[in-house]
Amino acid sequence: MKNFLIAVLVAPCLAGATTLDRQTSMEQRAEASFAYTVEKAKRHDRALGAAELFHAAFYFCETGRHLDQLDILFGVAAEMQDRDPSVRDRAVRVAWSRGIAGDSAPAAVVWDDPPDVNAFRLTVAHHDFWGRPMDTTNPPSAAFWVRVTDNASTPEKFAAFRAAFKSATCSVHATSTNIALKASGEDGPLTLGADSPFAAASCVEPAPKRAIFAVNGRDIGAEIVGEAPGIAEYRAERARVIKALAANRIPVTTRRAATWEAESGAIEPSLRADADPGAFGGKFVWLPGEVGGKRSGRGQVSWQLDVHAAGTYHLWGRIWAPTPDDDSFFVSAYAGEYPRANSRSGTILTPTVWPTGVTKGLWQWRKFKAELTLPAGPVVLTLHSREDGTKIDSLFLTSDPSQEPEG
């Protein structure tokens, strides 16, 4: 028996969760298929599978047609599900959800019907398609609990598996900066935690099992994986980041402020550097996007600081923020060199929102409100994307709370 906890942070989007604009020819084919499926369902045709019934039922849920026949389809599907071995080995629970307005978000199973795919989609309605207000302090989120078994070969065993999963406890504690999930797994408690901007888990218990394929001490597994698509690219990207950080180390002292260009750091997708004659050095860093757009995405830029004296420091950034939908980043920091051993080692500042405010078509210095208590030694400072369209040109770090940058 396997259990999986999955926490998903979703970015607000303007598209609806379902696709209703079917082409006429597809609708006609679906109508004919529906009529044939209903006739087989009424006969309790044992050759009819549960997937075929759900396929038809969810199509008419989406289109609003023949709703009076849905009870027949779902009723027969429930009966057939118990004798269909292909659906007796897995289950999914939506343990928790939060919509774009900060309230509970509805979940649904949706049928997608592109020409080459015959599948269902589990979705949580997080979007603002109907103009719902957006809660920027509590990002839309969803947590899924998946349980898989290999011991449900009979209807009785599957019923027991389903009942046990339904009654199992799961609790979620969520804020704007952290999500923590605890569930009762078959083999013991499961825990999953993540800190904003939720790019990786901060706590996983029990820890994932790691297996090594070795022969006479030789790590054959690593050699095989090393040839897999994407692994070489990942290693090359990691080496590039390490090289970029090492080449542009920034000395920080309490005697004078440190100033540096944003593009001097290690920029990781989907952030990038672009040109602007109004920026210091002629370049800035941003997550590309149209003005006023509501897209978000992953990306970050990091700088390796060499802090000569421990103390409290104050961070400023030279910002271009054209609208209220393009005026924020996340900031985080940890002590040590890149890459750190795990997501919590040496944490100085967990990813914290930096609401820069609108700069009205100008490059302006804006202060990060949180103080940075930095230890002596190496520190990695990271700026994470939050809203597309927000640009940063330069950074200014000082131990003097009254000192402001110029230019």
Q: Give the integer Cα–Cα distance in Å for 313 and 126.
A: 38
Q: Say which residues have a Cβ less than 8 Å from residue 39's Cβ, sequence separation at least 6.
A: none
**Rounded Cα–Cα distance for residues 265 and 248 (Å):** 7
- Please check whether residue 9 is in contact with residue 174, taking contact to mean a CB–CB distance below 8 angstroms: no
Spatial neighbors of 280 by CB under 8 A, at least 6 apart, are: 261, 318, 393, 394, 407
The residues, any chain, with a CB within 8 Å of residue 28's CB and separated by 6 or more, are none
Regarding predicted confidence, which is higher, 282 or 231? 282
Write out pLDDT tens, residues 208-220: 766 666 777 677 7
- Across 128-155, b (16+ Cβ under 10 Å) vs e yields beeebeebbebbbbbbbbebebeebeee
**Crossing angle of the two packed helices 70-81 and 24-42, in degrees rounded to 10:** 60
Residue whose C-alpha is closest to residue 196's, from 338, 385, 341 = 385
Q: What is the pLDDT of residue 75?
A: 64
Per-residue pLDDT of 163-192, as tens digits, reads 888 888 888 888 877 888 899 887 888 898
pLDDT for the residue numbered 209: 67
The answer, yes or no, to whether residue 87 has pLDDT greater than 60, is no
Complete domains list, the chain, with CATH: 2-205 (no CATH), 248-398 (2.60.120.260)
Alpha carbon distance 94, 172 (integer Å): 11
Per residue in 116-155, pLDDT (tens digit) is 555 566 666 655 444 455 555 666 678 888 888 777 777 7
230-250 residue pLDDT tens:
777 888 888 999 999 999 999
The yes-or-no verdict on residue 308 having pLDDT over 70 is yes
When mean pLDDT is compared across 161-165, 186-190, 196-200, 394-398, the lowest value belongs to 196-200
Q: 3-state class of 12 per DSSP?
A: coil
pLDDT given for residue 14 in this prediction: 27
Distance CA 123, CA 108 (A): 6
Radius of gyration of the chain (CA): 26
Number of other residues whose CB lies within 10 A of the CB of residue 301:
25
Only one residue has tokens 């919590």, namely 344
Phi-psi region of 348 (alpha: psi -120 to 50; beta: other; left: phi over 0): alpha
